[in-house]
Each structure stands twice: as structure tokens, then as C-alpha cells.
Amino acid sequence: MAVTPATSHLSYSLSYFWYQLRRSPMMLLGLVLIVLMCLAALLAPLLTAHDPNAIDLGNRLLPPSAAHFFGTDEVGRDLFSRVLYGARQSIGVGIFVAFVASAIGSVIGCFSGVIGRSVDRIIMRTMDIVLSVPSLVLTMALAAALGPSLFNAMIAITIVRIPYYVRLARGQTLSIREMAYVQAATTFGAGRSHIVRWHVLRNALPPVIVQMTLDIGNAILMAAALGFIGLGAQQPTAEWGAMIASGRNFLLDQWWYSTFPGVAILVTAIGFNLVGDGVRDMLDPKQKVK
Amino acid sequence: MTPNSQSNTARHVAAPAAQQDTIPPVLDIADLHIEFPIYRGAVRALNGVTIRVQQGEIVGVVGESGSGKSVTAMMSMRLIPQHSYVVRKGSIHKSGKNILAASEKQMRQIRGSDMAMIFQEPMTALNPTMRVGRQITDVVSTHTALSPKQARERAISLLREMHIADPEQVFDAYPFELSGGMRQRIMIALAFSCEPSLLIADEPTTALDVTVQKQVLMLLRERAKKTGTAILLITHDMAVVSQFCERIYVMYAGSVVEQGAAADVINRPAHPYTRGLLGALPENARPGAPLLAISGQVPNLADLPAGCAFRNRCRLQGDACSRVPPLLPLTSAADAPGHAAACWMTVREQHDA
């Protein structure tokens, strides 16, 4: 059949997605890791027996045991609870940064590419300036200027990630702008905003989505780094980076304190990166042929 | 950039319907000179092109690559970025409206509703990420006040008029699900969606295979006759032009070198270039004999030789050819009104005869 009825598009997409997934075990692994971490974050109250912020000075720095799977910290808080609740912060930051930065960045990039000339030059040179500063240094400076808190760290990371999306979307726009369908839309009287909305943005999306999935892991690492140097989440918020930082003092004798949040960061970042790679292979059929 | 419609319209000797001045022509390109500035010079893409399309007429523009056909088509819709070209002389009027002086906003209203365009590549002229139906209703609702539901009905009836058997299903299909011929039909449906008075078809059948070509052309003509739409068909295919068009303009190196009714130009070509084009048709070759070709190449438009642009490839060279030949009516003009050619040699030959 040349024409598939509209109703079957969704189920077709799902079965195609599953077909692709079976062919790339690494992506499947990444997806499993992400799903596990997300479940842990969502179901944290059900999975843990202890309040993540409950101080119990009688049980300080206990090693992992049946009562405290990951042990306890220097004020007796259950590390297992704190790691699970910490997943909420980290994954939340990752997803927020990827969505907000890509939305803002690709809209700016598309308009920059479509309008062209001096507007394009001003926008792109501004982005070049932002990109010329090492991203961690800039994030730290922004976070410090905004004041240390998880939310401000999130905003800082978002701002620093925007130029990557602007460049990506602009590059896509420059090639899409020359496509016959954009010209055809012009001959049918479409205005500039209609063309950006319906023709350019849509077709520029695949690489942006790939960049987004890869960026979630990146943003999680960045937020942890900011937490580690004290510019991100503040005590007593359970956040992986901050937990590693305070566990550092006990690293020689109480290895579990820093290790479990570290493993959590590792697993989540790997999960999102594997999925990002898999999504890229899916959305770019040209690369798949090996 | 100031359009100058007065100069040289006298050269446009005998457009057949020039007398019916009560209704302005659907498309009136008068003595258009266009240049694209380049480093230390300019590409003279159009050098005095005069093309007139009357209401409901099907007009062909023929010529090889680089003869200025596509620039003419693009300029008529003003699709070339405005800072990239210079209008040296001439004007373009669409049903009396000055296209060269219109604002971008006015152009957006004219495009789609008053004039539409069909492209060579139906594969790439539709947005791959949008359903076909949505692409049609978008155009319909840009130019009319129809509700989404009415727009949908209009789109489906347009598809049905294109002889698409299952318009509801095609409405919900993505372009990649359809064949080239189907996509070109959808482009035609799109072009006719707001009943424009002029349709510019830029090599609409080049990318299609021959059996589909004919269907698409017949469909195009049928719709045009039904809605009273004029068609300006840009092509390099002489066979298509001879079957499809009522009048023909032959272009070479940015100028019209011959014009007239299709039958006159095809049966009694006057310009050596037109003769060469017709002689080069594989259909006219004897089986087994080598195909004829016009020797030489199109002159560099950035560095046009003085005099007749076809001079270096022409077998009939004379002293007169060092001057640019005007479009002169042929002596046989009595029985072939409007037939004119820009050649010193052949026109005089006919005058003498």
C-alpha cells in the first residue's frame, strides 16, 4: 500500500522504534539505566525507609548495611535516601537545561539564519564570544553572580548551553532555506514567521534532538560540578555534587559517602549519553550504513 | 532600480493581442534588463526581454540552460533576493500591478492568490515533515477566510479534481509515501488552490518519466482551461512546447530571439537558433544517423560579445551581425501574426523573397 491510514502512524512509529532498539543493544542499555534512575527518582518516597534530611547523630558514618543500604553521613542521614532524592534534582536539571536551552537556542538560530545579514552577524558574533570562554568557567562565573542555589546553577548552565543550539540550528537553517519547499512556500505567499515555524524549525529538529539527549548527561555533570564547588545546591538539599564534596573529607575512612553519589552520576550520565548516541543513529540514516 | 516602461516598447512589434488593451495582460514584462553584480563587472542575465501573457493563454518559454528562462520566471514572482540584482531598464506588470515597485507585503498577497508557481522537482518542493493535506490547507487559509473544516473540504475537492482516486487518504499522507507523479499533482493542486490568474510552471515535467509527463501536462491544461488561468511554461523541451502551448518565446543569452504562435515557430522557424534547437530533437533524427547539435557554447553572460549573441555559433554570419538585431516581424506576418525573430540574416532573406 502506498498510503497508510492516519490512525496507524503512531503504532507504526512505535513498532519501528522497537525494531531500531533491538538492533542497538547499547541504546537499550542506556534506556534501561535512564528508566531505572527516573523510577528511583519518582518512587523515592516508596523505596526508602528514611527521610533524606532526618538527622540521627547516634548513627553517624555507618558503613552500608541492611538498614542503610549506602551507609550514613556525618550527621547520620541515610545515604540511600539522599542518593534517590538527589536523582530528582539532577535529572530535573538535566531535562530543564536540555529543553529550555534547545528551545531558546534553536528559535534564535533559525531566525538568525532566515533573516541573515547584519542581524545574523550580530547574533552569531555574540554567540562566538560566549563560546570563546571555557564553558565551566563561564558557568561558574554566572552561577556565582546569580548567587549560589540549585535554580541559579540551572539558569547558568542553560545560558552557557544556548550558543551550541544557536549554531546548530543556524547551520541547519542555512541549508533548509535553500530547499525547494521553502521556496515553494514563498511562492504561495507564506510570510517569514510561517516559514520558520512550519518549514525551517521542523526540519532543523533532528540534530537538535540528538544534541539535546547528549546534553542532558552533560548538564547533570555540570550541575554536580557546581554543587561540588558550592555554587549549586546548598545544604541540606540532597544533591549528588554537594554530597561528593562533603564526603571528600571522609574519603579515606568512609569510602561509601562519596562513592555512591559518584556512581549515581556516572550511571545517569552514561545512560543519557548512550541514548543520545542511539537517537543520533536513528535520526541520521546515512550514518547507519557501516 | 527605477522601472522604465516607456523605452523600447515599440520593439514589441506584434504581440497578437496587443490591441485588446481594455484588460491589462496577466503578465507584461517590458524590455527587462537585469544584471547580477559580481566582482568587477556584472552578469547580464536579461537583456531586453519582452514577454506578454494574456488572460487564459498558455505561453511557452524555451531555451537552453543559462538563457534566462528561470531568471525571468523568478523575477515575475520577485523571488530573487532584492539586494542581489539590479534592474537596468524595463518593467514587470502583473494584471496592471507594478511588480518591481511592490512592497514585500503586497508581494506576499499576490503570490499564491494571484500568481502561483510549479517547480521542477516535485520530490523536494513539498515539506517532508508535514502531511500533504496540511500543506494545502495552509495555503488555502492564508489567502481565504475559510474555516479549518472548510479548508479541509476545499483541499480534498482540489485533490479530487487532480484525478487522485482516494483524496481523503492522500490528504493524510506524507510526501515520502507518494510517487513523483502524485507529488506533482499535489503541487498543481496547491498552485490552483486559490485560483490564480497566472501559473508559472518551471520545467514541471523534467523530473517525471515520459508516461507521467503527458498525464501531468494534460491535467495542467485541463485545469487551466476550466479556471481561466494563464500558464507561462518554462522548459527546454521543444516537444512539450509544441504540443502544449499556444504561443512560444525562444530565449537565447538573456534575450527573446524568436516569438510567435506555436505552430508558426515550430513549422517555420526563422531564427537560426530555433532551427538548430528543432534540428537537434532526437525525434527528428534519422535512425542510425548521429544526432545534430548546435556547435559551440552559450556565451558568457558576464562578457557578452558585441552584436548578435548567437553570432559565434551561427552558420549564416554577415556584416550586419556585428550590431544587435531587433525583433523584426516576418514578411509572412499577414498569415502568421506576431511571428517575429531577432536575426538580420533570416528576416532579410524572407523580406527579399
Contact check, Cβ <8 Å, B119/A180? yes
CA distance B313 to A223: 72
Q: Are B262 and B60 in contact (CB under 8 A)?
A: yes
- Give the mean model confidence (pLDDT) for residues B261-272: 88
Per-residue model confidence as pLDDT tens digits over A122-161:
999 999 999 999 988 999 999 999 998 999 999 999 999 9
Nearest CA in chain B to A7: B172
Other beta carbons within 10 angstroms of residue A251's beta carbon come to 12
Q: Are A195 and A185 in contact (CB under 8 A)?
A: yes
Contact check, Cβ <8 Å, B124/A188? no
Does residue B224 have a pLDDT over 60? yes
Does residue A166 have a pLDDT over 90? yes
Cell of A285: 540514516
Least Cα distance to A272 among A228, A218, A230, A193 occurs for A218
Whether residue A236 is preceded by a cis peptide bond, meaning omega within 30 degrees of 0, is: yes
**Measured between beta carbons, which residues in chain A are less than 8 angstroms from residue B121?**
180
Lowest mean pLDDT among A80-84, A204-208, B310-314, B315-319: B315-319
**Measured between beta carbons, which residues in chain B are less than 8 angstroms from residue A189?**
108-113, 139, 142-143
Cell of B20: 485588446
Contact check, Cβ <8 Å, B126/A184? yes
Residues 6+ apart with CB under 8 A from B316: B272, B343, B345, B346
Q: Are B92 and B232 in contact (CB under 8 A)?
A: no
Q: State the Cα angle at B250 between B80 and B279, rounded to 5°.
A: 135
The pLDDT value given to residue B319: 79
Contact check, Cβ <8 Å, B121/A180? yes
Contact check, Cβ <8 Å, B190/A188? yes
What is the pLDDT confidence band of residue B191, given thresholds at 50, 70 and 90?
confident
Cα A117 to the chain's mean position, in Å?
32
Percent with pLDDT over 90 in chain B: 16
When scoring B129, B143, B203 by the number of chain A Cβ atoms within 10 A, the one with the most, hence best to mutate, is B129
Does residue B204 have a pLDDT over 50? yes
What is the pLDDT confidence band of residue B351, given thresholds at 50, 70 and 90?
low
**Measured between beta carbons, which residues in chain A are less than 8 angstroms from residue B82?**
none
CA distance A96 to chain B (A): 26
Other beta carbons within 10 angstroms of residue A271's beta carbon come to 24
- Judge whether A175 is closer than 8 Å to chain B, CB to CB: no
Per-residue model confidence as pLDDT tens digits over B46-92:
988 999 999 989 999 998 888 888 889 889 988 888 888 999 989 99
More confident site: A137 or B334 = A137
Residues 6+ apart with CB under 8 A from B1: B86, B87, B100
What is the ipTM metric for this complex? 0.71
For residue B250, what are the β-bridge partners? Answer: B62, B258
The pLDDT value given to residue A289: 47
Supply the pTM of this predicted model. 0.75
Q: Are B44 and B107 in contact (CB under 8 A)?
A: no
- Judge whether B349 is closer than 8 Å to chain A, CB to CB: no
Beta strands at B198-202 and B230-235: parallel, antiparallel or unpaired: parallel
- Judge whether B108 is closer than 8 Å to chain A, CB to CB: yes
Q: Are B51 and B29 in contact (CB under 8 A)?
A: yes
Nearest CA in chain B to A192: B108
Does residue B349 have a pLDDT over 70? no
Strand order in B97-98's β-sheet? B41-53, B27-38, B86-94, B97-98
Beta strands at B198-202 and B115-118: parallel, antiparallel or unpaired: parallel
R_g (Cα) of chain A, nearest Å: 23
Q: Are A3 and B168 in contact (CB under 8 A)?
A: no
Task: Please give the C-alpha separations between residue B230 and each of A96, A97, A283, B186, B221, in angstroms, as whole numbers.
Answer: 54, 54, 43, 19, 10
Contact check, Cβ <8 Å, A181/B124? yes
Does residue B335 have a pLDDT over 80? no
The pLDDT value given to residue A287: 57
The pLDDT value given to residue B16: 46
What is the pLDDT confidence band of residue B281, given thresholds at 50, 70 and 90?
confident
Per-residue model confidence as pLDDT tens digits over A49-100:
888 888 888 888 888 888 888 888 888 899 999 999 999 988 999 999 999 9
CA distance B49 to B250: 11
Q: What's the length of chain B?
A: 353
**Measured between beta carbons, which residues in chain B are less than 8 angstroms from residue A2?**
173, 177-179
- Judge whether B112 is closer than 8 Å to chain A, CB to CB: yes
What is the pLDDT confidence band of residue B331, given thresholds at 50, 70 and 90?
low
CA distance A80 to A71: 7
More confident site: B71 or B337 = B71
Which residue bears the cell 537585469?
A: B34
Q: Are B88 and B34 in contact (CB under 8 A)?
A: yes
- Give the mean model confidence (pLDDT) for residues A118-125: 94
The pLDDT value given to residue B162: 86
Per-residue model confidence as pLDDT tens digits over A200-259:
888 888 889 888 988 998 999 999 999 899 898 887 888 899 999 999 889 888 899 999
Q: Are A222 and A140 in contact (CB under 8 A)?
A: no
Lowest mean pLDDT among A88-92, B224-228, B305-309, B314-318: B314-318
- Give the mean model confidence (pLDDT) for residues B96-101: 89
- Judge whether A180 is closer than 8 Å to chain B, CB to CB: yes
Helix (H) / strand (E) containing A142: helix A135-146
What is the pLDDT confidence band of residue B250, given thresholds at 50, 70 and 90?
very high
Nearest CA in chain B to A187: B111
What is the pLDDT confidence band of residue B6, given thresholds at 50, 70 and 90?
very low
- H helices then E strands: how many in chain A? 13, 0
**Measured between beta carbons, which residues in chain B are less than 8 angstroms from residue A198?**
127, 130, 138
Contact check, Cβ <8 Å, B166/A185? no
For residue B251, what are the β-bridge partners? Answer: B256
What is the pLDDT confidence band of residue B13, given thresholds at 50, 70 and 90?
very low
For residue B51, what are the β-bridge partners? Answer: B29
Q: Which of A5, A181, A189 sits opposite B126 (nearest CB)?
A: A181
When scoring A1, A3, A195 by the number of chain B Cβ atoms within 10 A, the one with the most, hence best to mutate, is A3
Q: Which of A3, A186, A187 sits opposite B169 (nearest CB)?
A: A3
Contact check, Cβ <8 Å, B139/A181? no
- Judge whether B136 is closer than 8 Å to chain A, CB to CB: no
- Mean pLDDT score across all residues of chain B: 83
